[in-house]
Structure 1
Amino acid sequence: MAQKRFLAFLVAMGIIVTLGDAYCWGKIHKPGEAKDGCMINGKLYPFGHIERTEDCYQCNCGEGEMECCSLFHIPVAYDKKKCKVVFNKKRCDYDVVQKNDPSKMCSVYSRVG
């Protein structure tokens, strides 16, 4: 019986991890800190929804807090001997390319965000 429960737990955790698709963070502003908007890596963004920051995050900026989630997913399972990871700022995602010919893409088996 305990083994079935443990197996069910593992399956549930696998589903939860699979559904989590972005790295998110938040910041609570000190009173009066966000007068004109939210500061993200030295750039001031207006209050409201921010579709894409310069650093590839999607954010919600409020007077009391700011919440952001990444638009990119980090490759973790690929042929590390033959391939390398390169950030593509235009697409806000990582490309995995061959080390000896960066014009050729490599297969990626899993990503985390």
Structure 2
Amino acid sequence: MGIIVTLGDAYCFTKLHKPGEAKRGCVMDGKLYPFGEIERTDSCFQCSCSPRMMSCCSLFHTPTGYDKENCKVVFNRESCDYDVVQKSDPSKECVVYSRVG
């Protein structure tokens, strides 16, 4: 019998704003996001924006357990996740055993 364990949670961070800095929303990677909940930024984060701070968590987990000799990791912006594919044939996926946030 096997047990599968998820290693870690999503990567999260908080950016505190200086007084009066966030007048119309929060800026991430040069883009202004409105106050409130942001389901998905262009950088694949889920955020909460307020005049006081911006708190975000990643929507992706980094693969760590896979065949590193025959496979490579490629970030997929559409799915906001990493694909692990064969180096010799990127159209074929590799098995991933573990991921971290």
Give the TM-score normalised by the residue count of structure 2.
Answer: 0.92
Give the equivalent residue in structure 2 for 1:12. Answer: none
Give the equivalent residue in structure 2 for 1:65. Answer: 53
> CA–CA distance in 2 between the matches of 1:21 and 1:29?
25
Alignment of 1:50-61 (within 5 A): 50-61=38-49
1:38 partner amino acid = C
Among 85, 99, 103, the alignment partner of 2:91 is 103
> CA–CA distance in 2 between the matches of 1:65 and 1:87?
28
Give the equivalent residue in structure 1 for 2:31. Answer: 43
Shift of 1:21: 1.9
Give the TM-score normalised by the residue count of structure 1.
Answer: 0.83
Among 67, 85, 89, the alignment partner of 2:77 is 89
CA deviation map 1:24-72 (0-9, x unaligned): 0001100000000000010000000000000000000000011000000
RMSD (CA atoms): 1.3
- Mark the runs of 5 or more structure 1 residues left unpaired by the alignment: 1-14
1:64 partner amino acid = R
Among 74, 77, 85, the alignment partner of 2:65 is 77
- Mark the runs of 5 or more structure 2 residues left unpaired by the alignment: none
Identity %: 68
Alignment: residue pair count: 97
More helix by share: 1
SS in 2 for 1:52: coil
Rg larger in 1 or in 2? 1
- Runs of 4+ with >4 A deviation: none
Greater relative CO, 1 or 2 (CA 8 Å, sep 6+) = 2
